Structure 1
Amino acid sequence: MQTSRQPTLRSSRVRRWLGHLFREWTIESRRPIAPAFAKPQPATWSDAQVTLAWLGHATVLINFFGIKILTDPVLFPRVGIRLPGFTIGPKRLTAPALEFHELPNVDLVLLSHAHFDHLDLRTLRCFDESTRVITARATRDLLKGTRFSHITELDWGQSKSLSTAAGEIEITAFSVKHWGARTQRDTYRGYNGYLIERSDHRIIFAGDTAMTENFAALRRHGPIDIAIMSIGAYNPWIHSHCSPEQAIEMANAAGARFIMPVHHQTFRLSFEPLREPIERFEAALSKTPERIALREIGETFVLP
């Protein structure tokens, strides 16, 4: 009896959660999108430094000593299923800090997994063939409608070295605790975190992950300068999204010097109040606030 009831109970909870989110999305569809807190100025960034700006959700623009990287680019007002003339899915609460035409020439796009709020085809179709892409296992087919000509899939533990006009960079995919399906039938798709390495400097882009002990293994690569960690969408999705405190714990396990909290204040994907993730994150680091790379969409951080 118990085994037959459990799937029904889970399905009932999921329906209630989705119903709540649909009501929230309906209400928010009538609200204007708030402007980003700040506007990055990438044209002024030095190629002799490591500079990062949070554009919203999991989209981070990185100048890694002259190599321009963009993580999980999502720059349109909605994410979700695209139909002629409109998109079915959540509307942004906060505008992206930069529009596509304001970006510098991007050398590399990093895609962590195939979920609509991370792999946004409308944004990806804006890039030309010169931009290279590293994406998760079994996700290349989703990019057929783009102009990318250099696409590399990485599975956990695999690495890719890239040569650019600004020099060499190495990307290593590592295991996170999430899931990669874009629909109900493609559960075979991969999902990655990435370690980005150049000139003895290292950046973690964790993508989406629940609490996992896998980050400790990244220490073997050497000191980590900064970890880009998602801190939102944990209520009730704690089994696929970490809490702010867990994000810090994983970054600490990797030995990260600084932590950049992302994946909050952009879309309504869960139940927690809009400001709760960053408030909990700040409280958890109240004794070492200097480790917080930034707090608001549009802010810029230069690695000391």
Structure 2
Amino acid sequence: MTTPTLPLNPNIRIPLLKNFTHLHSAPTLDLPIKSTKTPPFPDATTTASSSKASIYFIGTATTLLSYSSIRILTDPNFLHAGDHVHLGPGVSSTRQTNPAIDLEALPPLDLILLSHYHEDHFDRKVEDSVNRQFPIVTTPHAKACLTADTKQEPFRNVHGLDFFQSLQLPIKNDDGTTSAVKVTAMPGKHVPPGPLSVVNDLIGAVPPTNGWLVELGHTKDGEGFQVGYRIYISGDTLMVPELKQIPEYLAGEKIDLMLVHLGGTTIPGPHLPLLMVTMDGVQGVELMKLVDPDITVPIHYDDYDVMISGLDVFKKEVEKAGLAGRVVYLGRGERYEFDVRE
């Protein structure tokens, strides 16, 4: 099956924000990088090339993936401590932290990768500010919400992927080579199986969610897409049976890096924790064992008051499982750099 392509041109980027109308790329901005004690990090001053890539942790599930000249923003949430989000009927939450940088300070971007349509992943400020032509890859449900004609300003460049559907993003490099990113939707489930899941399917209180397989590589004449690095992003899922399809889909291929959404998010709230809708520390380690990535980076663990399973719980479970050497802990504003195989 041919994978659809989403053409990108780094010299004619669509502006991220509505109030920025100049269509040509702005000068590249260097994101602030804090020093980190989590080795091994390549020298942060290394000149970008088609084999260099990085993940920059902004906060919550918001990260910036940079590879060659491609930049992808995941689950944009730029609210500040004290701001509130609506998460469903009768459910709201207060942010406890600040993002590492603000929305307006982002460098030029190519794509938003949105796991699901929840305000802690696509907040009101982002929705109001983002250019309606900016490309977004997300779930079919989120696409329907973002492009609905009932909206005052519907989004016009949204691509909805069901589980195991893919899009490929080719981009020409200055040296004449072509880098590429392939995005494939992976299974995820916000609500545990059982009666509650059946009820939720009927009333739609908690939206469907995707995980993502992001493959970085190159396209070569006559050889197609050559993968050089695989990143699995769990999305806001629980440890549900559907996740067993991921190693089956990979068929022995290796995950280099996993970004796992933790927090043990509870609804309707921390004082009435009736239902957990994201992984806690125990489930996060179970996912590590299932997917078996070389490196895991935990995110989405303490930014909102509905998250009651903090990073300390995950660290304890990682130590207990003997997996400490395979986890990198990033603070907000820190970056993990890696090489993409040629």
TM-score range, shorter chain: 0.7 to 0.9
Which of residues 93, 96, 105 in structure 1 aligns to 2:96?
93
Deviation of the 1:81 alpha carbon: 4.1
Q: Which has the larger share of helix?
A: 1
Secondary structure at 1:276 match in 2: helix
- Aligned mates of 1:107, 1:264 — CA distance in 2: 27
Q: Hey, what does 2:48 align to over in structure 1?
A: 46
Which of residues 209, 220, 223 in structure 2 aligns to 1:191?
209
Matched, 1:111 2:147: no
Alignment gaps of 5+ in structure 1: 1-37, 83-87
Deviation of the 1:118 alpha carbon: 1.6
Deviation of the 1:242 alpha carbon: 1.7
1:11-64, CA deviations, whole angstroms, 9 ceiling, x for partnerless residues? xxxxxxxxxxxxxxxxxxxxxxxxxxx943899872431200111111111113
Deviation of the 1:128 alpha carbon: 2.6
Q: List aligned pairs for 1:242-261, cutoff 5 A.
A: 242-261=279-298
Matched-pair contact (CA < 8 Å) for 1:245–1:284:
no
TM-score (normalizing by structure 2): 0.65
Cα separation, partners in 2 of 1:59 and 1:263, compared to 1, 3 Å: same
Amino acid of the residue matched to residue 114 of structure 2? Answer: L
Amino acid of the residue matched to residue 107 of structure 1? Answer: D
Which of residues 80, 90, 107 in structure 1 aligns to 2:85?
80
Secondary structure at 1:224 match in 2: coil
Q: Hey, what does 2:166 align to over in structure 1?
A: 159
Tell me whether 139-148 or 92-101 shows the greater mean CA deviation: 139-148
Q: Hey, what does 1:230 align to over in structure 2?
A: 261
- Aligned mates of 2:110, 2:200 — CA distance in 1: 26
Deviation of the 1:275 alpha carbon: 5.0
Over the aligned positions, Cα root-mean-square deviation in angstroms equals 3.4
Alignment gaps of 5+ in structure 2: 1-30, 35-43, 174-178, 192-196, 218-226, 267-272
Deviation of the 1:110 alpha carbon: 0.9
Matched, 1:291 2:294: no
1:84-140, CA deviations, whole angstroms, 9 ceiling, x for partnerless residues? xxxx94332111011112211111111111222123242133333563111112222
Q: Percent identity over the alignment?
A: 23
- Aligned mates of 2:111, 2:143 — CA distance in 1: 15
Structure 1: 4+ residue segments shifted above 6 A? 41-45, 180-184
TM-score (normalizing by structure 1): 0.73
Tell me whether 263-272 or 168-177 shows the greater mean CA deviation: 263-272
Secondary structure at 2:231 match in 1: strand
Matched-pair contact (CA < 8 Å) for 1:232–1:243:
yes
Which of residues 269, 272, 278 in structure 1 aligns to 2:306?
269
